[in-house]
């Protein structure tokens, strides 16, 4: 939950020997099931005031299936996303628009619990994150890099790839 991030995870960043180059911060769906909207919005404002300047913030996708794609869920999530976008903009943090990448049709995007994404659903989330990640400081998007070869059936990876292609390759391997 967002409260867990504030209490347990963010303090650990201060303990690192050097600040991370990239932090992705995606939370909120569980909060929506547990707390009233004003509390969730307040938690997000606190969180976005504390994350490092290297953070990419994920907004929240519309719930699916038994979790509420009804007429009440969409405005609730939209109001939370409005808070996320405004607080991130105030800090100058990029937002990964998961809400736009992870959309209907829902079939084939969720796991058996009908709440958490499956591999295909998380690929859409990663697409949203990759679209929001700014190029590395001092590394132009056209900076060549050498990546290990892809699996044999995909052939070799070109030695000249963009910053986002490098991130995609890392995400695919992960």
The pLDDT assigned to 68 comes to 52
The pLDDT assigned to 66 comes to 54
CA atoms in the 13 A half-sphere facing the CB of 113:
5
> What pLDDT band is residue 71 in, cutting at 50, 70 and 90?
low
Tell me the pTM.
0.72
Statement: residue 129 has pLDDT above 90 = yes
- 72-81: per-residue pLDDT in tens? 567 888 889 9
Phi, psi values for residue 27, rounded to 5°: -155, 170
What are the residues facing 15 on neighbouring strands?
none
Comparing 45 with 73, which gets the higher pLDDT?
45
Statement: residue 16 has pLDDT above 60 = yes
Statement: residue 21 has pLDDT above 80 = yes
Statement: residue 28 has pLDDT above 60 = yes
Q: Which residue has the tokens 């079939």?
A: 107
- What angle, rounded to 10 degrees, do the helices at 163-173 and 119-132 form? 160
Percent of the chain with pLDDT over 70: 71
> What pLDDT band is residue 42 in, cutting at 50, 70 and 90?
very high
Closest to 98 in 3D by CA, of 118, 81, 116: 81
Q: What is the mean pLDDT of the chain?
A: 76
């Amino acid at each position: 939950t967002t409260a867990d991030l504030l209490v347990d995870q963010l303090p650990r960043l201060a303990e690192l020997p050097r600040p991370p180059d990239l932090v992705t911060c995606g939370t909120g769906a569980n909060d929506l099931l547990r707390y009233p909207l004003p509390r969730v919005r307040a938690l997000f404002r606190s969180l976005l005031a504390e994350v490092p300047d290297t953070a990419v913030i994920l907004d929240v996708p519309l719930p699916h299936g038994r979790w509420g794609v009804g007429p009440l869920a969409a405005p609730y999530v939209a109001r939370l996303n409005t808070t996320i976008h405004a607080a991130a903009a105030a800090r100058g943090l990029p937002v990964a628009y998961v809400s736009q990448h992870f959309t209907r049709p829902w079939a084939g995007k969720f796991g058996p619990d009908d709440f958490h994404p499956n591999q295909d659903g998380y690929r859409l989330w990663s697409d949203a994150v990759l679209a929001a990640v700014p190029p590395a400081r001092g590394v132009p998007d056209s900076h060549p890099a050498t990546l290990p070869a892809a699996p044999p059936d995909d052939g070799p990876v070109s030695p000249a790839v963009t910053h986002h292609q490098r991130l995609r390759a890392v995400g695919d391997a992960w």
